[in-house]
């Protein structure tokens, strides 16, 4: 429950709270004006930790400023300090306090999944919870890394990647079989027993037994050659080459590290980069650079501690974590990670040997990534200052939202929102809006824009009224001219968010880039200098919004095209659907048969057969 102390504020308020605090572990929140959470911290003893703020001990100028802004505090007592750490991590990720070190761009990692819930296991990319029965391998640092590995595994082990629906309806091998990326179990060109042998080989390779798998394949190739089966030997040779390509492309494959995540922190000029490398089954599965929000006065040990806690809040923890900076809460993190993983987790700062070389390599990458980021940030700041000047804004925008629509004659209409700011494009903030209104005339772009903006900003208003702090744009760009701008302004005025600047961007004659006209309320339409860097930047924003909207539209259209009419019939689940497609080949085949023939299919009763027949023969 929140505590309040009348008119007290800052150090006086904190000192008043200390009188009632227990000498027990817990989490505290410092709260400023309008309920803004300034800072979340944990303590072994709430009383001893919080009193330091009142006494001014160990304060940097930044912490002193935070204390001055404090208008209220909230406390939660926990059973142990480890529980306090876990709660602190959760609250920081949820509330994003401005005085905490904050991990940004925290997207889930892709994995490779071998599904085990089908007679012919499927090899596929997976992201998210492990809800499907099968073997999961990862994390991979990026979709690019996992796609490259998947393509190579297809060449090496010939496992299917198609959906169950496609698998059940195939009557002849698909193109992937023709280019030697699938063994075609769907049409019986390989027995299920032999196919499962390929699955076992792929699993062994992904578990780190690459040398054994390649040695066995080399033996089979030699045997095929000795028996003058040169075509089979050539196929095995191509598979071995594919596996070799994976090993060579991974560059670093340690001999003494089976499973570990490697972290290296480099801080400079008030910014920081943490480079993360993933090693699983003795293989390098890629790396990713993170740029946490820090202050130039933060200690590296505190930054690393906060980063590790937030990083593993929603990710599996490996047995070994290697890093170049000892975290300030090392023992506490080890205990918390062990509780989560159900086994011992070691956090190590290596001093020599191969492990040290891995950390040094990660540190080199962190330095280079931060250097590039700082150069980009400098250029980005100049562009945002130019946008501010061009549109007459009060300050350079921190968050720009750009909106565009995509459809074909009104069908599969989708609205897209992209977000950009000082850090560039913020893809985790992108949103798509499937147009739901049934009252729109097909192709009514104004109506679509009204729906998109109404949904986006009505949600913003509700969250703000509930006391939350949702992201609020400093500038909204609309793809369109005076008409689209008027539609946008009408919606935002209705919702009471007319304090957000809105600009319409109209394409030039014949859609020529460089001749765009900009529409701002109260000003005549204008153009920017043809070679202006600000114009190029605004074109990039518009093009990115257009790309995202078109991509979302194509995805929705593809889903509609793949949708099977049988899915709409009550009582036809996956099993009966599979049986019907197996019996009649396709939904069109099902639509042509009689009730009697339908009732002969296993699992289809007379009543269901009549329902299926009626569905396809509506008057």
Q: What percentage of the chain exceeds 90 in pLDDT?
A: 39
Q: Where is pLDDT greater, at 303 or 140?
A: 303
> Does residue 357 sit in the same domain as residue 416?
no
Whether the per-residue pLDDT at 251 is higher than 70: the answer is no
* Residue 390 within any structural domain of the chain: no
- pLDDT tens-place string over residues 60-86: 778 888 988 999 999 999 999 999 999
281-296: per-residue pLDDT in tens?
Answer: 777 888 889 999 998 8
Is 383 inside a domain boundary?
Answer: no
* 578 and 529 assigned to the same domain: no
Q: Is residue 233 part of a domain?
A: yes
Q: Does residue 612 sit in the same domain as residue 516?
A: no
Give me the helices (H) in 19-112, please.
46-55, 61-69, 81-95
**Residue 366 structural domain:** 260-372
Same domain, 147 and 223: yes
Contact (Cβ atoms closer than 8 angstroms) between residue 490 and residue 450: yes
pLDDT of 554 reads 79
CA distances, 424 to each of 28, 29, 544 (Å)? 33, 31, 12
172 pLDDT higher than 50: yes
- Dist. CA 506–CA 513, nearest whole Å: 10
In this structure, are 152 and 244 located in the same domain? yes
DSSP, residue by residue, 140-204: -S-HHHHHHHHHHHHHHH----S-HHHHHH-SS--HHHHTTS---GGGTSS-HHHHHHHHHHHHH
Average pLDDT rounded to a whole number, residues 100-123: 86
Verify that 200 and 168 share a domain, yes or no: yes
Asked if pLDDT for residue 439 goes beyond 70, the answer is yes
Question: What's the pLDDT score for residue 383?
Answer: 92
User: Residue 577's pLDDT is what?
Assistant: 84
Confidence of residue 495 (pLDDT cuts 50, 70, 90): very high
Domain boundary at 249, 274, 302, which? Answer: 249
- Is the pLDDT reported for residue 5 higher than 50? no
Classify residue 470: in a domain, yes or no: yes
**Confidence band, pLDDT 50/70/90 cuts, at residue 56:** low
Q: Are 382 and 396 in contact (CB under 8 A)?
A: no
Tell me which of 194 and 215 has the higher pLDDT: 194
**How buried is residue 47: exposed, middle or buried, by Cβ count under 10 Å (0-12/13-18/19+)?**
middle
Evaluate the omega torsion of the peptide bond into residue 437 and state whether it is cis, within 30 degrees of 0.
Answer: no
Q: Tell me if residue 404 falls in helix, strand or coil.
A: strand
Q: What is the per-residue pLDDT across 412-432, written as a single tens digit (0 to 9) for each?
A: 788 899 999 988 899 889 999
In a domain, 358, yes or no: yes
**Residue 603's CB: how many other CB atoms inside 10 A?**
14
Is the pLDDT reported for residue 593 higher than 70? yes
What pLDDT is stored for residue 408 in this prediction?
66
pLDDT band, residue 106 (cuts 50/70/90): low
For residue 258, the model assigns a pLDDT of 80
Average pLDDT over residues 457-465: 90
What pLDDT does 245 receive? 63
Mean pLDDT of 380-387: 92
Q: Which CATH number is 12's domain given?
A: 3.40.1440.10
* Per-residue confidence (pLDDT) for residue 2, from 0 to 100: 44
User: Is the whole model's pTM more than 0.75, yes or no?
Assistant: no
**Res 442 pLDDT > 90:** no
Residue 73's DSSP bridge partners are 3, 30
Last residue of one domain, picked from the residues 249, 275, 307:
249
Do both 318 and 357 map to the same domain? yes
Q: At what angle do helices 10-18 and 61-69 cross, to 10 degrees?
A: 80
Q: Are residues 276 and 329 in the same domain?
A: yes
With vertex at residue 550, the alpha carbon angle to CA 549 and CA 552, rounded to the nearest 5 degrees, is 65
The answer to the question of residue 139 being in a domain is yes
CA-CA distances (angstroms) from residue 64 to 18, 99, 458? Answer: 18, 11, 37
103-113 average pLDDT score? 80
Q: For position 1, what pLDDT does the model report? A: 38
| Mean pLDDT calculated for residue range 122-130 | 86
CA distances from 310 to 52, 94, 95, 291, 490 (A): 25, 11, 13, 13, 41
Q: Is the pLDDT of residue 209 over 80?
A: no
Q: Check residue 330 and give its pLDDT.
A: 93
Both 470 and 529 in a single domain? Answer: yes
C-beta of residue 37 within 8 angstroms of C-beta of residue 29: yes
Mean pLDDT over all residues of the chain? 86
DSSP letters for 560-588: HHH--GGGGSTT--HHHHHHHHHHHSSHH
- pLDDT at residue 179 above 90? no
Q: Is residue 391 part of a domain?
A: no
Chain segment 338-373, per-residue pLDDT in tens: 998 899 999 999 999 999 999 999 999 999 999 888
Averaged pLDDT, 144-172: 84
Q: Could you give phi then psi for residue 334, rounded to 5 degrees?
A: -60, -45
Rounded CA gap, 204 and 210, in Å? 7
Q: Are 578 and 168 in contact (CB under 8 A)?
A: yes
Query: What sections of 207-329 are H helices per DSSP?
Result: 210-226, 230-249, 300-311
pLDDT at residue 322 in the model = 96
Residue 116: pLDDT above 70? yes
Query: Which of 360, 354, 148 is CA-nearest to residue 275?
Result: 360
CATH number of the domain enclosing 335: 3.30.420
Establish if 394 belongs to a structural domain.
Answer: no
- Identify the domain boundary among 95, 126, 158: 95
Q: Are residues 418 and 507 in the same domain?
A: yes
Q: pLDDT band at 396, cuts 50/70/90? A: very high
- Helix (H) or strand (E) run with residue 262 in it: strand 260-268
> Which CATH number is 514's domain given?
3.30.420.340
- The whole-angstrom separation of Cα 278 and Cα 109 is 11
Per the structure, the count of domains in the chain is 5
What CATH number has the domain bearing residue 570? 1.10.150.20
In percent, the amount of the chain with pLDDT more than 70 equals 91
Q: Bigger pLDDT: 567 or 91?
A: 91
Q: Output the pLDDT for position 560.
A: 62
Give the pLDDT of residue 3.
46
On whether both 134 and 245 belong to a single domain, the answer is: yes
pLDDT band for position 463 (cuts 50, 70, 90): confident
- Give the C-alpha separation, 212 to 204, whole Å: 9
CA dihedral sign, ordered 385, 389, 393, 395: positive
Pairwise CA distance, residues 577 & 564, whole Å = 9
554 and 576 inside one domain: no
| Residue 511 pLDDT exceeds 60 | no
């Amino acid at each position: 429950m929140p505590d309040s102390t009348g008119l007290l504020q800052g150090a006086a308020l904190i000192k008043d709270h200390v009188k009632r605090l227990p000498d027990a572990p817990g989490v505290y929140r410092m709260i400023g004006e309008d309920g803004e959470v300034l800072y979340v911290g944990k303590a072994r003893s709430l009383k001893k930790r919080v009193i330091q703020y009142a006494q001014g001990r160990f304060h940097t100028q930044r912490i002193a400023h935070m204390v001055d802004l404090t208008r209220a505090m909230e406390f939660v007592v926990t059973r142990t300090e480890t529980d306090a750490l876990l709660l602190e991590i959760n609250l920081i990720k949820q509330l994003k306090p401005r005085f905490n070190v904050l991990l940004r761009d925290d997207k889930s990692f892709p994995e490779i999944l071998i599904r085990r819930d089908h007679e012919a296991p499927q090899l596929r990319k997976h992201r998210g919870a492990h809800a499907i029965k099968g073997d999961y391998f990862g994390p991979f640092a990026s979709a690019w890394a996992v796609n490259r590995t998947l393509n190579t595994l297809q060449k090496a082990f010939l496992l299917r990647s198609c959906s169950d629906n496609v698998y059940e309806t195939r009557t002849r091998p698909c193109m992937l079989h023709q280019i030697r990326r699938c063994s075609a179990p769907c049409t019986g060109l390989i027995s299920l027993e032999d196919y499962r042998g390929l699955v076992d080989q792929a699993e062994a390779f992904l578990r780190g037994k690459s040398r054994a798998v390649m040695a066995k394949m080399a033996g089979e190739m030699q045997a095929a050659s000795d028996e003058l089966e040169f075509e089979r030997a050539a196929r095995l040779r191509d598979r071995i080459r594919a596996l070799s390509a994976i090993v060579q492309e991974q560059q670093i494959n340690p001999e003494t590290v089976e499973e570990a995540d490697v972290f290296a922190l480099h801080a400079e000029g008030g910014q920081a980069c943490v480079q993360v490398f993933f090693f699983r089954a003795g293989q390098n599965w890629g790396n990713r650079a993170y740029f946490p929000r820090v202050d130039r006065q933060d200690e590296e040990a505190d930054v690393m501690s906060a980063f590790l806690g937030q990083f593993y809040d929603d990710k599996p923890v490996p047995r070994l974590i290697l890093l170049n900076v000892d975290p300030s809460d090392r023992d506490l993190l080890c205990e918390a990670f062990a509780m989560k993983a159900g086994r011992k987790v070691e956090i190590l700062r290596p001093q020599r040997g191969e492990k040290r070389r891995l950390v040094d390599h990660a540190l080199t990458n962190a330095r280079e990534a931060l250097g590039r980021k700082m150069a980009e940030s400098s250029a980005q700041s100049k562009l945002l200052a130019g946008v501010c000047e061009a549109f007459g804004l009060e300050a350079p925008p921190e968050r720009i939202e750009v909106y565009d629509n995509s459809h074909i004659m009104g069908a599969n209409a989708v609205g897209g929102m992209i977000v950009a700011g000082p850090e560039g494009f913020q893809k985790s903030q992108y949103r798509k809006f499937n147009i739901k209104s049934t009252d729109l005339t097909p192709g009514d772009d104004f109506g679509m824009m009204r729906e998109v903006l109404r949904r986006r900003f009505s949600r913003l208003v509700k969250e703000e009224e509930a006391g939350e702090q949702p992201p609020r744009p400093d500038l909204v760009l609309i793809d369109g001219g005076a008409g689209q701008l008027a539609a946008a302004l009408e919606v935002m005025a209705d919702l009471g968010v007319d304090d957000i600047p809105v600009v319409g961007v109209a394409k030039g004659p014949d859609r020529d880039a460089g001749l765009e006209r900009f529409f701002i309320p109260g000003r005549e339409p204008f153009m920017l200098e043809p070679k202006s860097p600000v114009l190029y930047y605004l074109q990039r924003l518009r093009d990115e919004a257009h790309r995202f909207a078109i991509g979302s539209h194509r995805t929705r259209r593809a889903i509609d095209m793949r949708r099977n009419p049988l899915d709409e019939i009550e009582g036809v689940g996956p099993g009966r659907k599979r049986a019907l497609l197996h019996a009649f080949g396709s939904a069109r085949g099902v639509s042509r048969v009689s009730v009697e023939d339908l009732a002969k299919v296993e699992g289809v009763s007379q009543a269901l057969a009549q329902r299926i027949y009626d569905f396809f023969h509506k008057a």
